[in-house]
């Protein structure tokens, strides 16, 4: 028989794409043929890692050349002032526009996706997106949904509303946040739901922009951080505690950073957060005047940033190669970085900016695996003090080593690949 054909369709951003790369590597090791459906700005990046690509667009092509993830980099650049607002105010200025862009992209790309799936006729389609794409369901083959955001996206009335960053033990803000979200999003949900049905897909569940798969749903979050639910998710749901790809490039810190009195810190605000040049410059300044040494993922505006003598960095860094070498991680709270830091047993200082980063930051703080700080209002001593405490906490490091040992013994990439190939075999 021919090799099973798995189509992976991640959102056009680095987090979901990197998550899917780890699974794709495991699929290839098991003999599968893997094809990525990629947003046009990512064209060539997956091919360079040994995968086939099919290219699509979520909006008309721009006049200027694009970098990977340009669609979302441009959007976040224009809405970045919203990062400084409370999360309930971000609903109107940031969350609603993000959903509107996602919905518009799903509508724009539907015909192209149908052509791709008709050409390939895959055994299974794996989707890591937060909105429905009717072409996936209409094609007729089995499909798998991956949730690589904070699992509050899978709603539960006894848990905080997603994107709020609210604590699990204080419900005072939950209902006002939910009411405001409904006021802003219900109209868009109804409009998108009508489109989804017009294009041959089932009706969307209440208050959702995406279906659960009847075949298999995978969500990415360590059990040590996950939430106690009031209702079970059901037999089609399975947790991947971590899903770490094999980075193709190695990294070794320069000689000047290999020893010192302070901690060795890895700092990354993700491909989107690092585009905030003033925030990145502030972090570099505070760390540059501290006793700590830092490896910094500089992001798309790297040419506007300056490193101190106790720092090393580049526009892009092989994060899975770096995390095992550092003492503390400074992160924006993206789900991939959170789960990868847990996979390698590293404590975190979390500076959340938008979307599920607020929820991840709160959860890390609640679980005692790190510290949540406000990205635009932290004091110099707050940041350096948090690094000092996390680096020196022997009990915390014992907990994290035990967590890392368990996660590495049962890699989510392999478990995901086995489950996906099991779904593919049903069709074959």
Query: Which CATH number is correct for 5-243+411-427, 3.30.1360.20, 1.20.140.10, 3.40.50.2000, 2.40.50.140?
Result: 3.40.50.2000
Q: Domain locations in the chain?
A: 5-243+411-427, 255-409
Pick from 222, 265, 220: nearest CA to 371: 265
pTM: 0.93
| CA gap 404, 369 in Å, rounded | 12
> According to the model, what pLDDT value does residue 70 have?
65
Residues 6+ apart with CB under 8 A from 60: none
Q: Is the dihedral of CA 147, 152, 155, 156 positive or negative?
A: positive
Distances (CA, A) of 109 to 40, 189, 195: 12, 18, 13
Please tell me if the domain spanning 5-243+411-427 has the same topology as the one spanning 255-409: yes
Sites in the chain below the pLDDT cut of 70: 1, 66-73, 75-76, 428
> According to the model, what pLDDT value does residue 301 have?
78
Q: Give the 3-state secondary structure of residue 257.
A: helix
Q: How far, rounded to the nearest angstrom, does the alpha carbon of residue 224 sit from its chain's CA centroid?
A: 18
| CA gap 352, 372 in Å, rounded | 8
The tokens for 337 are 């970085």
> According to the model, what pLDDT value does residue 324 have?
95
The tokens for 309 are 């003598």
Mean pLDDT of the chain: 93
100, exposed or middle or buried, with CB in 10 Å at 0-12, 13-18, 19+?
middle
User: Which residues are paired to 294 by β-bridges?
Assistant: 265, 311
| CA gap 417, 240 in Å, rounded | 11
58-84 pLDDT, tens digit each: 988 877 776 665 665 676 677 778 889
Query: Which CATH number is correct for 255-409, 3.10.50.40, 3.30.360.10, 3.50.50.60, 3.40.50.2000?
Result: 3.40.50.2000
């Amino acid at each position: 028989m021919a090799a099973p054909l798995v189509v992976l369709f991640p959102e056009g951003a680095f987090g979901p794409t990197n998550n899917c790369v780890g699974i794709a590597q495991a699929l290839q090791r098991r003999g599968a043929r893997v094809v990525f459906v990629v947003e046009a700005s990512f064209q060539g990046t997956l091919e360079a890692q040994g995968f086939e690509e099919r290219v699509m667009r979520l909006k008309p092509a721009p006049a200027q050349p694009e970098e990977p993830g340009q669609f979302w980099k441009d959007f976040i650049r224009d809405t970045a002032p919203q990062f400084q607002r409370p999360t309930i105010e971000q609903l109107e200025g940031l969350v609603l526009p993000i959903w509107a862009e996602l919905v518009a992209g799903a509508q724009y790309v539907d015909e192209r996706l149908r052509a791709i799936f008709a050409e390939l006729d895959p055994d299974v389609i794996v989707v890591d997106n937060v909105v429905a794409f009717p072409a996936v369901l209409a094609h007729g083959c089995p499909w798998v949904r991956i949730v690589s955001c904070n699992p509050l996206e899978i709603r539960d009335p006894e848990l905080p509303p997603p994107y709020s960053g609210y604590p699990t033990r204080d419900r005072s803000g939950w209902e006002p946040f939910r009411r405001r979200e409904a006021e802003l999003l219900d109209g868009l949900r109804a409009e998108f739901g009508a489109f989804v049905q017009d294009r041959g897909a089932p009706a969307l569940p209440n208050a959702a922009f995406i279906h659960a798969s009847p075949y298999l749903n995978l969500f990415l979050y360590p059990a040590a951080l996950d939430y106690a639910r009031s209702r079970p998710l059901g037999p089609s749901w399975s947790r991947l505690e971590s899903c770490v790809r094999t980075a193709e490039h190695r990294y070794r810190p320069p000689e000047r950073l290999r020893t010192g009195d302070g901690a060795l810190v890895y700092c990354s605000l993700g491909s989107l957060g690092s585009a905030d040049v003033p925030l990145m410059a502030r972090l570099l300044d505070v760390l540059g005047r501290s006793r700590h040494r830092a490896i910094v993922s500089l992001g798309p505006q790297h040419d506007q940033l300056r490193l101190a003598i106790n720092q090393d960095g580049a526009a892009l860094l092989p994060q899975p190669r770096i995390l095992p070498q550092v003492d503390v991680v400074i992160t924006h709270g993206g789900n991939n970085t959170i789960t990868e830091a847990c996979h390698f047993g590293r404590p975190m200082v979390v500076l959340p900016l938008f979307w599920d980063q607020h929820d991840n930051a709160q959860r890390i703080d609640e679980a005692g695996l790190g510290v949540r700080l406000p990205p635009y209002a932290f004091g110099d001593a707050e940041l350096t003090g948090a690094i000092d405490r996390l680096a020196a906490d022997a009990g915390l490091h014992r907990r994290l080593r035990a967590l890392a040992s368990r996660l590495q013994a049962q890699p989510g990439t392999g478990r995901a690949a086995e489950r996906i190939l099991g779904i593919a075999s049903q069709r074959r």
